[in-house]
Amino acid sequence: MNLTLKIWRQKNAKASGAFETYTVNDVSPDSSFLEMLDILNNNLIHEGKEPIVFDHDCREGICGMCSLHINGRAHGPDSEITTCQLHMRKFKDGDTIVIEPWRSAAFPVIKDLAVDRSAYDKILQAGGFISVNTGGVPDGNAIPIPKPDADESMDAAACIGCGACAATCKNGSAMLFVAARVSSLAKLPQGRIEGARRAKAMVAKMDELGFGNCTNIGACEAECPKLISLTHIARLNREFLSAKFRD
């Protein structure tokens, strides 16, 4: 496959960026998207040019680091996958591919295609954990949890925090991410003790960091590689409102 790539280049968050055009030839359809970028960077290095900075880690669809907008879609033209699991057979020989970083005010560009997603870490630090003393490790059957609740908690916990929801949302909202983190603990007895404080603290931190409001468009769910459901946002709203009523 021979491809034309229009890639966003930017030195840092304060610098002005622009698209630059590159060509890459003889790419196998079985290569992953990141392997294709590796080939391009290898060519650039041999030409004495600066390689393109992009984020990645596990390359197994687990960590969510490989966050790219590809032809206008978060993680590219496939569903239920991260960028590292996208393969070049999803494109055609001769295609022009536009590659951008996440576009969100809360995710400033570090360089080129890499963005600073530490805002999500700060939201988690505000309350996405259990800090109370729950005693020793109980027997697995000592605290019976209904299977539907356990399944829903595990579905929410599947969120990898890649940021596709905020980058896709027209308002730059992080509600799906926050909702998944709150919901994964709200359905478990260990998480109920701090439930009210957690919802208020995480929503407040999300607002403080500059994420937008949710207007229920649903683009976040459509582009989420783990298919986190919008129903978790409804639960977050209930948790938040009930906590405010108690106040």
- Provide the mean pLDDT of the chain: 93
Residue 130's pLDDT is: 85
Contact 111, 11 (CB under 8 A): yes
Q: For the whole model, what pTM was predicted?
A: 0.90
Residue pLDDT, tens place only, 67-115: 999 999 999 999 999 999 999 999 999 999 999 999 999 999 999 999 9
Which two structure tokens, joined as six digits, stand for 96?
């022009």
| CA 187 to the chain's CA centroid | 22
CA 231/CA 153 separation, integer angstroms:
12
Residue 134's pLDDT is: 60
Residue pLDDT, tens place only, 113-170: 999 999 999 999 999 988 866 666 666 567 788 999 999 999 999 999 999 999 999 9
DSSP state of 32: B
DSSP state of 87: B
| CA 60 to the chain's CA centroid | 15
Give the pairing of strands 73-74 and 69-70.
antiparallel
